[in-house]
Chains A and B, each alone.
Chain A
């Protein structure tokens, strides 16, 4: 047994103008999870402490919260891994959400983004027309398993730095879940789904891997890349900064062996997109004043033919 001091964010949107913190001291076995410690605190010390939980086994995804500033499932976090020398564990609601009461947050923006992508199978024909179930080969199913493991705990959404400054971004979970249907052989709306998810700023993913902390190993960052690739392979929305960027980077590497910054910037913004070019001009001028502009043209690296051979051997014909 050890004494654990839960330093808890307290707030009730119905009555409090500002949040405050309470410290609740309890004696628990250190092998206990943070969720069980919260349950103990609620049962034995202060019944008003509010938090979401259901299964206590990392299946339902209800109890994601910030534990010492790190977002994760309380039911999957043993106290001994997070308590400091004084036994203190700081507990806060998930960031990127509006707090409702204590550790409970308003999940609506997160659910809205799920709903928009129609998270259900849309086959081409009616079930009634089938004599038996629609079958999926083990190989096809294997592609979906990771994404289908999502328990919608919103840990990735809370950790996403893009969501934190621009809530219009779909966020990692919704895109990963879209992938689960995009790659499902029984679904018939692949292109519609891709168009929708592109509209919700698929390409605004910053490649930061903050969502690699997913407690269910969905690896949302990899699924986002899968969806981007499916978009490009389907030849969709190619006149958009995201796909343009991907394509021009490939083009300059194939040509010079290097990522040619000047050409990439022009190609991403659009060479004749004068409004876009004007927007980046001030920074360009500041860089020019410091002699920091990348060279306009690059000399190809030695043996650039080898790089071209690699591209030509692996490019998927479109």
Chain B
């Protein structure tokens, strides 16, 4: 898919680069929302992968991860659905399954942890996978694109790849619960005080905004449960971000994106107008790495992020 290579000095970088000599291949699990209402996330991820010189091999026959909802009725089904996805990655010789959604990350990692730590569950999963000739051997590691950026590309390399630094754009990170909590499932960084998004914002020339809402919940999962609750959770968090001087928000989760981009307007009645444009993680990174803004689907956002980019002279 891509022929771009990483900078030559990458081999001397202190980060993990065991696969650095050839183009790195990853299993790719886009998740349902990036294929449905947030297609701009899927497209900008592929454009970013090109720039990074990595190959994302989409697991096209993978199912939904269970989205934290299948668990509500049957934990076994949620686990075995994911085991099927991991079996597909293994069959392609891929140990990494890269996600671009916080909820996918958390729930796929939880399922994998249950499989790897409990022989009975692994046996149960394989007894069902066997019915259609599949098998999961437990070699898969589920990681978010955000972690890949830091662990495999490295912040120093990322910094060197930037051709259009963000000119100090003040960006508020919004992690999305399931990429950090519960810590025993994710544990890639502190759930109380994560800083991977801040590190990426800084590396691409932005200024991260520190605010209390960054690890809080967007309310997406209960948007249809009771009027106004999710809206208010968005309003509360965006109010704090805005008051701390944020000009935009970045999130590694399309569910958070739907909530933050979609509900701010209705939250204004209780929390005042915030109108913070929200970027998907790969959109803003790809922009800094030189992908044309026209290709990133910025016109799909309800709160148009282009005016702030024009203001910061990042696009014409």
Chain A interfacial positions (CB closer than 8 Å to B): 69-70, 161-162, 164-166, 201, 203-210, 212-213, 219, 221, 225, 228-229, 232, 241-242, 245-247, 249-250, 253, 257-261, 265, 268-269, 279-280, 282-283, 286-287, 290-295, 298, 301-307, 309-311, 313-316
User: Residues of A contacting B37 with CB < 8 Å?
Assistant: 261, 287, 292-294
Contact between B224 and A258 (Cβ–Cβ < 8 Å)?
Answer: no
**B86 → chain A, closest Cβ, in Å?**
13
- Pick from B62, B63, B178, B236: contact of A165, CB below 8 A: B236
User: Residues of A contacting B222 with CB < 8 Å?
Assistant: 162, 203-206
Contact between B229 and A166 (Cβ–Cβ < 8 Å)?
Answer: yes
Q: Is B5 an interface residue (CB 8 A)?
A: no
Contact between A162 and B229 (Cβ–Cβ < 8 Å)?
Answer: yes
Contact between B216 and A161 (Cβ–Cβ < 8 Å)?
Answer: yes
Q: A258-B35, A290-B299 are in contact. Are A208 and B217 (CB under 8 A)?
A: yes
- Pick from B73, B75, B128, B182: contact of A310, CB below 8 A: B128
Contact between B36 and A265 (Cβ–Cβ < 8 Å)?
Answer: no
Q: A201-B226, A283-B266, A287-B302 are in contact. Are A206 and B217 (CB under 8 A)?
A: yes
In the complex, the chain B residue whose C-beta lies closest to that of A70 is: B192
Contact between A259 and B181 (Cβ–Cβ < 8 Å)?
Answer: no
Contact between B225 and A228 (Cβ–Cβ < 8 Å)?
Answer: no
Contact between A301 and B61 (Cβ–Cβ < 8 Å)?
Answer: yes
In angstroms, Cα B108 to Cα A235, docked, is 28
- Of the candidates B60, B73, B182, B219, the one having the most CB atoms from chain A within 10 angstroms of its own CB is B73
- Contacts A206-B230, A206-B233, A314-B76 known; 15 new A-B pairs at CB < 8 A: A162-B222, A165-B229, A209-B182, A246-B69, A250-B73, A259-B33, A268-B224, A279-B227, A283-B263, A287-B37, A292-B38, A301-B60, A309-B128, A310-B84, A313-B80
Number of interface residues of B (CB under 8 A): 64
15 CB contacts below 8 A, A to B, read: A161-B217, A164-B236, A206-B233, A208-B217, A210-B177, A212-B191, A219-B182, A229-B72, A241-B226, A249-B69, A268-B224, A282-B266, A291-B300, A292-B300, A302-B61
User: Residues of A contacting B183 with CB < 8 Å?
Assistant: 212
Contact between B229 and A290 (Cβ–Cβ < 8 Å)?
Answer: no
Chain B interfacial positions (CB closer than 8 Å to A): 32-33, 35-38, 60-64, 66-77, 80-81, 84, 106, 128, 131-132, 134, 177-178, 181-184, 191-192, 212, 216-217, 219-222, 224-230, 232-233, 236, 262-263, 265-266, 299-302
In the complex, the chain B residue whose C-beta lies closest to that of A279 is: B227
- Pick from B128, B225, B302: contact of A204, CB below 8 A: B225
- Pick from B38, B81, B177, B262: contact of A307, CB below 8 A: B81
User: Residues of A contacting B73 with CB < 8 Å?
Assistant: 228-229, 232, 246-247, 250
In the complex, the chain A residue whose C-beta lies closest to that of B270 is: A165
In the complex, the chain B residue whose C-beta lies closest to that of A316 is: B74
User: Residues of A contacting B301 with CB < 8 Å?
Assistant: 290
8 cross-chain pairs, A with B, having the tightest CB-CB distances, nearest first: A208-B217, A209-B181, A212-B182, A294-B36, A165-B232, A302-B61, A208-B177, A257-B63
Chain A binding surface, main DSSP class: helix
User: Residues of B contacting A201 with CB < 8 Å?
Assistant: 225-226
User: Residues of B contacting A311 with CB < 8 Å?
Assistant: 77
Q: A162-B229, A207-B177, A283-B266 are in contact. Are A309 and B131 (CB under 8 A)?
A: yes
User: Residues of B contacting A283 with CB < 8 Å?
Assistant: 262-263, 266
In angstroms, Cα B133 to Cα A309, docked, is 12
**B167 → chain A, closest Cβ, in Å?**
26
User: Residues of B contacting A204 with CB < 8 Å?
Assistant: 222, 225-226, 229
User: Residues of A contacting B132 with CB < 8 Å?
Assistant: 303, 305-306, 309
**A78 → chain B, closest Cβ, in Å?**
15
